[in-house]
Every structure is written in structure tokens, then in C-alpha cells.
Copies of this chain bind each other. A is one copy, B any other.
Amino acid sequence: MRKLRMGMVGGGQGAFIGGVHRMAAAIDGQIELVCGAFSSNPERSKNSGKELFLPEDRVYGSFEEMILKEKELPADKRMDFISIVTPNHVHFPPAKLALENGFHVICDKPMTYNLEEAYALKKIVESSGQIFALTHNYTGYPMVKQAKAMIAAGDIGKVRKIVVEYPQGWLSTFLEGTDQKQAAWRTDPSRSGIGGSLGDIGTHAENLAEYITGLKITQMCADVGIVVPGRQLDDDTNILLKFENGARGILSCSQISAGEENGLNIRIYGEKAGLYWLQMEPNTLVVKHLDKPTEIIRTGVGALYPEAQAHTRIPAGHPEGYLEAFANIYRNFAKCVQARLEGKEVDPMYNDFPTVDDGVRGMEFIYHAIASGKTEQKWYTM
């Protein structure tokens, strides 16, 4: 076995999520950043590569150049996979090119700029046989794994109600009117696609709910709102949901919930108990019982399901956070790539990360929510 070699697309100076991906990839010592096309501006790409201690000849001016040149490098030197951390409109092109040239791909969400790209990418992934992971990072938290395992084991009985919310407040003002880079592209339809809060955080909420419960949303009734004057994309969306087993639900994603940080949270009520998880206190899973005291399940404490244990690095009481959850996506993806390199089967415990199917699902969610928001019909079938 050896360290895997990663090439990065995007994430140059001034970006946010690129640094997160690099830290998440680095933390477990299984992945080495060996090259990158960090910016569409070659100068910025070079400078970024230098800061990251990369040799000049592995810092490229474009993802096309990187993919094609790396392909020519000897097998013991060239990158194994690319990490795509660009704005949404630059997800599909590098993913396609990489997959078609024999590289695995790990990609930020939402998966593509539009739904057509999503369907196309699914076909490319399947025909290429390469491994594709999508960083719906919140599913990497140990207590999310615990919740999923509990529900699968029937611990709370049949699921009846799901409330998932992702409130943020950072777009309460017309921030895109300033020089804030994050706000600029995330509210710009030419770079984000048709979803604003829906794409940026709504897909996380949708993915979290379906991942934990194992239930698909079948119908939705969306109130898609643009609250801040002048904004082009939705910034506050509230949706009534129906799930395949008949459970009902509420999904809310908002970027104008003044004063909220990243308050992603989910409540799942079953016949026998309710679960509550809040991303901002991620090492706690609250189990509310019908007739006995509420239990506080904590990362690393007592008898957890193996899925929770397998995604924990440090002992109880030492908080693991966002980066460690993110790193779990990378770690599992890396284990699958490693297994592929060694011609082995991966331990099913680690064959657990969001795939191209989750990506398609997320894009469908955005499109159907926007469509539901436009119709006067109550229930829109997803």
C-alpha cells in the first residue's frame, strides 16, 4: 500500500472550500496532494501551488492541462484521483474529462450545474468504471452514522415524521453587492445553477434526511422564496414532504435566518422514539423515548453501532468536528480507491460515501422544488 495521490481542481487563493478539502484529505495521512489546477487564472494557480509546496511542473493552468499531462506521467508518479472544488458550473467538465481519462473523482456538491449534466455524469461514471464520490460531508459525522444504524435496526420503530432544517443567516443582506466572493457566485445563476439556498444547503438537508432514514421523498409542496431585494436565487425555501413509507415531513433551507450559523438539524420521529441531531453540536445524538428518560448518545461513549465507531478517531469527550466528518468521506473514498489498486474487496463498512446517485438525487431535488414552487398545485410528485 502507498499514499494516494490527489490532484485538485479549484481551491486557489481566496477560495473557501478548497482548503477544507485539503485538510480533510490530509488528516488521516492516506492522501498526498501532488498536483493542482487551482484557478482559471494561471498566475493565481501557480501562486497557490507554491504555497502548497508543490513543484512548479505539477501546478497547471487548467484542469484540462492537468488531466492530460498527468495521464502521461509514469504510473508511480501520476495522480490517482482529482478533487473538484470549483463553483457548480465547473463541476461537470473536469469530472467528465477525468473519468474518461482513467482518474477517480471526488467532487463538491451540488454535483452539477444542471440536471442534464447530472444524468450525463451518471452515465459517464458507470461507463468509466471509475470511483466517484460526492462530498455531502454531513453524512460523515459519527452520530449521523449512529442514527442511520438505529433506524435500520428498528430502534425507533417505523418512521412517521421527519423535520430537517438548514438555517443560515449570512445572506440576510445583499452581500452579493459587496466584494464577498462566496456570496457572489453562490447567488449567481450563471455559476450556481437554478437553485440558491436549495442547491447550496437544501441538497445537504435532503441528502441527510434520505441517508439517515433510508426513505425517499416521493412528493413535495414547496414555497420557494427570494427575500432579499435584488437577489436572483432563492434564499428561503420551506417544503412539505411525503416519504415513500407514508411518513410526512418538513424541509426548510434558509440563508436569511438572521443570526443562524450553520444550524443544520434533523428530527426523526418513529413509533417508539424520536431522534434529534444538530450539526453544531455534532457529537451528540438525542434519543427521546415514549416512556423513559431521554438518552444522550455521544461519540465514543458506550456501546455504539459499529458504523459510528468506525468513523470516530479520538476518545469520547474530545470533540470531533466538521473537518473530521469531511475527512470521513475522503477516508472512505480513499479506502475504496486503495482496494481497487490492490484488487481487493473493500470492507463494506467503508464503502459508505455519497455517490453519483446521490448527486443525481440532489439535482432532481433542486429542480423539482423549483417546479413545485411555481405551481399552484399542492403536491408535486418527485
Which residues of A does B touch, CB under 8 Å?
1-3, 16, 19-20, 22-23, 26-29, 33, 52-53, 156, 160-161, 163, 167-169, 172-173, 221, 223, 225, 227, 236, 238, 240, 248-250, 252, 254, 256-263, 267, 269-274, 279-283, 287-298, 300-303, 313-324, 375-379
Residues of B within 8 A of A281 (CB): 281, 319
B257 near A269 (CB under 8 angstroms)?
A: yes
Partner of A377, one of B53, B227, B378: B378
Residues of B within 8 A of A19 (CB): 313
Pull 30 A–B residue pairs with CB atoms less than 8 Å apart, ordered by A: A16-B315, A19-B313, A22-B29, A23-B27, A26-B26, A29-B53, A156-B258, A160-B236, A169-B269, A169-B290, A172-B290, A223-B240, A225-B248, A250-B250, A257-B269, A258-B269, A258-B288, A258-B289, A259-B273, A259-B287, A262-B318, A282-B319, A293-B297, A294-B295, A294-B298, A314-B322, A319-B321, A321-B323, A376-B377, A376-B378
State the number of copies, please.
4
Known A221-B240, A281-B281, A298-B294; contact A317-B263, beta-carbon cutoff 8 A: yes
Interface of A is mostly: loop
The distance from the CB of A242 to the nearest CB of chain B, in whole angstroms, is: 8
